[in-house]
Structure 1
Amino acid sequence: MFDGSLPEIARLASLSDAEVVDGAAEWARAENAACARKLAFMAELFARRTGLPAGERELWWIDPQAAVTAEIGAAVNVSPAMALHQTHRGVALRDRLPRVAALFTAGLISEVLVRAIVTRTYLIIDPDVMAAVDAALAERVTRWGPLSVRKTEDAIDALVEEHDPGALRRTRETASTESVQFGSPGDVAGMTSMWARLNAARAALIEARLDEMARSVCDGDPRTLEQRRVEALEAIAAGAALACTCGQPDCTRGTGQRPTKNTVVYVVVDEEALDASEPPAERAADPAPQPAAEPAAEKLPAQCRPAPPAYVFGGGVLPPALLSAILGRAQLREVRHPGETAPEPRYTPSRQTCEFVRCRDLTCRFPGCDQPAQVCDIDHTVPYPLGPTHPSNLKCLCRFHHMLKTFWNGRAGWQDRQLPDGTVIWTSPTGHTYTTHPGAQHLYPRLCQPTADLWSGEPPIVQPDDQRGLMMPRRRQTRAEYTNKTVATERRLNDDLVVERNKPPPF
């Protein structure tokens, strides 16, 4: 594919404007072709893994599809959800859209167009109809030219309706689609977007309550209405009223208490920078039941080095100005490197150990996963009691990857080894290795210094229990059953619309 005929970056200065445009187009085609091949390889492994007899594993929460897409996600360094979507596209191209796949492999169509085609043809269940739509798309799609996303979907829908009107995809905003989501790839440092889809009555109630609270302060409050609405949302979450900030002692508006300090700021203590004669700082009280977590900068003498950054679990690096606004209403908790401390004599780690492990790791430690440490489990790399409860044997794993490691392990499954500095070396079912390092290695390197070395040689390997599957949470139905049910349900709704549309005119 890359045979030297495409212009290289080293030649850019010698190319004319037209040649630069041609080069961009040629590399875009190569990018399309490379993506097609990637999806084809992902689909092949998916078919091999899911084609094996699964037995009861079809009903496991981490079923064969989830297990293989975790394996693929680690290989291409994406999350399991993204790996699942990409793999399903590859399977659809191979099994349902082979002619479209041929165009994609030749680089003639983009991944964006392929995604739209796979999505808009999802409800077609008749193999003959699917083959006809595939052939029609392959014949027409290269003649469409540049189209917007909406126009592209309209063109695909027109072709689907021509062959199978009941297979049209329709947006159904029902109560089952209500959701609240946090975070977007476009969020700037220190800020997190919040997006919700609600039924009209619920949204109106929330909006009215926010406005009521935002207008409950006096005219001297210096905040804008939007700023007060944001703080009103925080106050609701904290079960508090919105306090007025006018500063007037006789103000009777918005006299409710400020939200309680349910935000926890972890201060990373550099032991070497502390005065040896200074007594240890008193530790803060236990946090509120639902703490947010912002590991703050290391406590260092100001003259030694610039202030390190702060970090929000799940939110990234926090600018100093935003950190200052948080500190006034936060609990401060110290996090210290445990050094050569002995293992703890129980399965559940102490609060101090949990805080150290979370602040060291920052996220789930499985390759490609960025679930924040605050919502992760604390996993014993070598299972307890053979593996001790000690930072050198503890790491953060999201619930999905914790179960993957627990139930899809052994010599034919996943294996992991942890080093004293928190580095984790994963070995996949195919024998590939992936090394993940603690998230704090660049922000708070002090936390990534080695803790105690627990093993004189190689750590022990615990063979999986043959009965471990009894503890795996179960699905109510297999993925195939769920897919068939959802497709049939949406097609039934479409069938009703088709009948209504085909009624004779009333005149």
Structure 2
Amino acid sequence: MFDESAPEPRDLPGLADADLVDAAWTTTRAENRACARKLAVMAELFDRRTRLAPHDRLDWWVDPAAAVTAEIAAAHHITQGLALHQTYRGVVLRDRLPRVGALFLDGLISELLVRTIITRTDLITDEELIAAVDAELADQILGWGPLSAKKTEAEIDAIVKRHDPDAVRQPPDPNTGRAVEFGNPADAPGFTTLWARMFDCDAAAAEHTLIAVAYSVCDNDPRSLDDRRNDALHALLTANPVLACLCGNTDCDAATNPRPLREIIVYALTDHTTATAEPPSSDTADNDSAAFESNKCQSDETPDVRDDEGDEPQPDPTAPEATEPEPKSEAAPAPKPRPGASALIPGRSAYVFGSGFMPTPLFDALLADATIREVIHPGQAAPEPGYAPSAALAAFIRCRDLTCRFPGCDKPATTADIDHTVPHPIGPTHPSNLKALCRFHHLLKTFWTGPNGWRDRQHPDGTIEWTSPTGHTYTTHPASRLLFPVLCRPTASLWTGDPPEVPMSANRGAMMPRRTRTRAQSRAAHITAERKRNAEIRAAEAAAENRAAPPRDHDRDEFTGGEGKSDYGNDPPPF
């Protein structure tokens, strides 16, 4: 029987080298077994939620699969994306690859190998074929020994090809099609990578124009050529065909060229907000922070998803998965992307929404074209009239929260909705009843609610207590609590006891944005397209091999007319 016990760290100095190696394998196997059981738990909960879910919710934008993976994400303290992928692996091991799953449960294979197997067998649609591949993989895996990632994929692909050639994964062609991408996960705070692939002629013209603009300043400009090229690209993208010179000379003609305005809101907190560990008392002046705002920046806020029982139109939600198209809404347009925003303690590093900390010199460069606007802590102010918060109140909520307030979500507050914790109009438009929620979690909270859904309770300091459908509680605090504690100073209390319960209307689900096809239909269409592409590639390769093959001896008469005389038909030379 497998012994899962592992030596304690304090006992390791007394072990022989061989014992240490044995302990390493013991702990590795125990880790594999624990991971397999974690995925099995996720798969079981996923199956219960999706199997028993009402049929009319399958085409909801936040469908039963998305709702349960949000619950799993909160329980495991991971992101929605990680929960979705891990749950899917658990379902595949249980339903499609049970023999491979048994090896994983026994700790004999790693989670990394399991991931590779699932990815490489994902296009097999026939139940008998996937069962045969599962059996062959389970018989051969333990005999492979240590292999590189490429060799492992090759071994799996060879088995898949014997059973279902059209299911072999083909690498995408990275060199076809034009594309433009903004951002890279490796980007440092304050920087965004811009990558593009275009036609050669377009790239040549763009490079020529970029160089011409970069050299449109005088020789005394202090910037390097790379900096000027970067600024030239920014100028061209903002419809400015010239570059403003930074030489500082009053007689420089290029110094008067227009400078493109940066679409950015910068929130700068005053020194006394973090000068002491304790937040200021309530009688301290409320004018705790100021904001620098570009002249070109829009002041309108991202539209909110109505969480009351009214007939307000629903804006388009942000897609929970990158593979899903954004839903279309005739009632209201999709929200405009909000400009980038930052929070700053003067003299220290800046905080950039969605990125993290930025060195002060980099942040200072963004303030050249900024104007100042105050962002005021509401203090004990009364609720605002109406549903939508004022620009000042919305700015305070976003600076206080910094990110989406759902457990485990780090979407920046600048792209989030402002949610009423207790639905309006019973819940007032007040900082003690408002928080930032990304569109996905806003829809989750709004429509997957009630006694068997998500519930949330907000405290005056911005703390949110979430209760999941199973009754488990998760507490989230404003991300500014450690960085800018004055923003978490309690605002007015709205309730003397428990907050009021708002009854749900029978037609609430009609307001949820819908998918054009269900998740299962989208997945089936994707697999069908991949298999069709693979079949076309195989057919083209077979045709190329037939054209390249030399003529067989018994076919020689077809090329010589049967009498040794060459007959090339109507083909022109060279034959």
Do Structure 1 and Structure 2 share a fold, with TM-score over 0.5? Answer: yes
- Candidates 521, 530, 543, aligned match of 1:481: 521
Contact in 1 for aligned 2:268/2:291 (Cα 8 Å): no
d(CA) in 1 for partners of 2:24 and 2:5?
Answer: 13
1:405 and 2:445 aligned: yes
Q: Which residue of 2 aligns with 1:304?
A: none
Residues 139 and 411 of structure 1: is their aligned pair in 2 closer, same or farther, counting only changes over 3 Å? same
Q: Which residue of 2 aligns with 1:460?
A: 500
Supply the AA of the counterpart residue of 1:293. Answer: A
1:373-415, CA deviations, whole angstroms, 9 ceiling, x for partnerless residues? 0000000000011000000000000000101111111111111
**Displacement, 1:180?**
2.1
1:149 and 2:149 aligned: yes
Q: Which residue of 2 aligns with 1:297?
A: 345
Supply the AA of the counterpart residue of 2:343. Answer: P
Residues 443 and 2 of structure 1: is their aligned pair in 2 closer, same or farther, counting only changes over 3 Å? farther
Residues 281 and 446 of structure 1: is their aligned pair in 2 closer, same or farther, counting only changes over 3 Å? closer
Q: Which residue of 2 aligns with 1:243?
A: 244
Supply the AA of the counterpart residue of 2:74. Answer: A
Q: Which residue of 2 aligns with 1:172?
A: 172
Supply the AA of the counterpart residue of 1:335. Answer: V
Contact in 1 for aligned 2:4/2:27 (Cα 8 Å): no
1:194 and 2:193 aligned: yes
1:451 and 2:491 aligned: yes
Supply the AA of the counterpart residue of 2:100. Answer: V
Supply the AA of the counterpart residue of 1:46. Answer: F
1:44 and 2:44 aligned: yes
d(CA) in 2 for partners of 1:393 and 1:277?
Answer: 22
d(CA) in 2 for partners of 1:278 and 1:447?
Answer: 10
1:319 and 2:318 aligned: no
d(CA) in 2 for partners of 1:109 and 1:209?
Answer: 56
Pick the structure with greater CA Rg.
Answer: 2
Supply the AA of the counterpart residue of 1:505. Answer: N
- Candidates 462, 465, 468, aligned match of 1:428: 468
Matches within 5 A, 1:314-463: 314-463=354-503
Contact in 2 for aligned 1:267/1:333 (Cα 8 Å): no
Task: Specify the SS of the correspondent of 2:496.
Answer: coil
Supply the AA of the counterpart residue of 1:295. Answer: A
Q: Which residue of 2 aligns with 1:302?
A: none
Residues 491 and 279 of structure 1: is their aligned pair in 2 closer, same or farther, counting only changes over 3 Å? closer
**Displacement, 1:112?**
1.9
Task: Specify the SS of the correspondent of 1:327.
Answer: coil
Supply the AA of the counterpart residue of 2:89. Answer: R
**Displacement, 1:139?**
2.1
Residues 37 and 239 of structure 1: is their aligned pair in 2 closer, same or farther, counting only changes over 3 Å? farther
**Displacement, 1:486?**
1.2
**Displacement, 1:192?**
3.9
d(CA) in 2 for partners of 1:148 and 1:255?
Answer: 59
Out of 477-486 and 21-30, give the one that drifted further. Answer: 21-30
Matches within 5 A, 1:48-67: 48-67=48-67
Residues 501 and 66 of structure 1: is their aligned pair in 2 closer, same or farther, counting only changes over 3 Å? same
1:133-181, CA deviations, whole angstroms, 9 ceiling, x for partnerless residues? 1122222223333333333222222221122110011233488894624
d(CA) in 2 for partners of 1:355 and 1:396?
Answer: 10
d(CA) in 2 for partners of 1:476 and 1:204?
Answer: 41
Out of 357-366 and 289-298, give the one that drifted further. Answer: 289-298
- Runs of 5+ in structure 1 lacking a partner? 299-306
Residues 222 and 356 of structure 1: is their aligned pair in 2 closer, same or farther, counting only changes over 3 Å? same
Contact in 2 for aligned 1:295/1:310 (Cα 8 Å): yes
User: Percent of aligned pairs with the same residue?
Assistant: 52
Paired residue total = 497
- Candidates 540, 546, 565, aligned match of 1:505: 546
d(CA) in 1 for partners of 2:495 and 2:464?
Answer: 15
d(CA) in 2 for partners of 1:332 and 1:17?
Answer: 66
Q: Which residue of 2 aligns with 1:259?
A: 260
Out of 426-435 and 248-257, give the one that drifted further. Answer: 248-257
Alignment root-mean-square deviation, CA: 3.2
Contact in 2 for aligned 1:295/1:311 (Cα 8 Å): yes
Supply the AA of the counterpart residue of 1:47. Answer: D
Contact in 2 for aligned 1:266/1:332 (Cα 8 Å): no
**Displacement, 1:7?**
2.4
Supply the AA of the counterpart residue of 1:339. Answer: G
1:83 and 2:83 aligned: yes
d(CA) in 2 for partners of 1:30 and 1:280?
Answer: 53
**Displacement, 1:433?**
0.7
Q: Which residue of 1 aligns with 2:323?
A: none
d(CA) in 1 for partners of 2:509 and 2:177?
Answer: 31
Give me the TM-score of the superposition, normalised by structure 1: 0.88
d(CA) in 1 for partners of 2:14 and 2:252?
Answer: 71
Residues 470 and 207 of structure 1: is their aligned pair in 2 closer, same or farther, counting only changes over 3 Å? farther
1:182 and 2:199 aligned: no
d(CA) in 2 for partners of 1:101 and 1:220?
Answer: 68
Contact in 2 for aligned 1:178/1:197 (Cα 8 Å): yes
Contact in 2 for aligned 1:262/1:330 (Cα 8 Å): no
1:88-123, CA deviations, whole angstroms, 9 ceiling, x for partnerless residues? 111111111111112222222222222211111111
Q: Which residue of 2 aligns with 1:471?
A: 511
Supply the AA of the counterpart residue of 1:68. Answer: V
d(CA) in 2 for partners of 1:310 and 1:20?
Answer: 46
d(CA) in 1 for partners of 2:286 and 2:451?
Answer: 51
Residues 170 and 390 of structure 1: is their aligned pair in 2 closer, same or farther, counting only changes over 3 Å? same
Contact in 2 for aligned 1:392/1:454 (Cα 8 Å): yes
Q: Which residue of 2 aligns with 1:310?
A: 350
Task: Specify the SS of the correspondent of 1:169.
Answer: coil
Contact in 1 for aligned 2:342/2:350 (Cα 8 Å): yes
**Displacement, 1:295?**
1.0
**Displacement, 1:276?**
8.4
Residues 398 and 210 of structure 1: is their aligned pair in 2 closer, same or farther, counting only changes over 3 Å? farther
Task: Specify the SS of the correspondent of 2:130.
Answer: helix
d(CA) in 1 for partners of 2:196 and 2:22?
Answer: 43
Residues 446 and 247 of structure 1: is their aligned pair in 2 closer, same or farther, counting only changes over 3 Å? same
Task: Specify the SS of the correspondent of 1:59.
Answer: coil
Supply the AA of the counterpart residue of 2:344. Answer: A
Out of 5-14 and 97-106, give the one that drifted further. Answer: 5-14
1:338-380, CA deviations, whole angstroms, 9 ceiling, x for partnerless residues? 1101000111101111111000000000011110000000000
Contact in 1 for aligned 2:46/2:87 (Cα 8 Å): yes
1:109 and 2:109 aligned: yes
- Runs of 5+ in structure 2 lacking a partner? 274-279, 299-337, 551-575
Q: Which residue of 2 aligns with 1:123?
A: 123
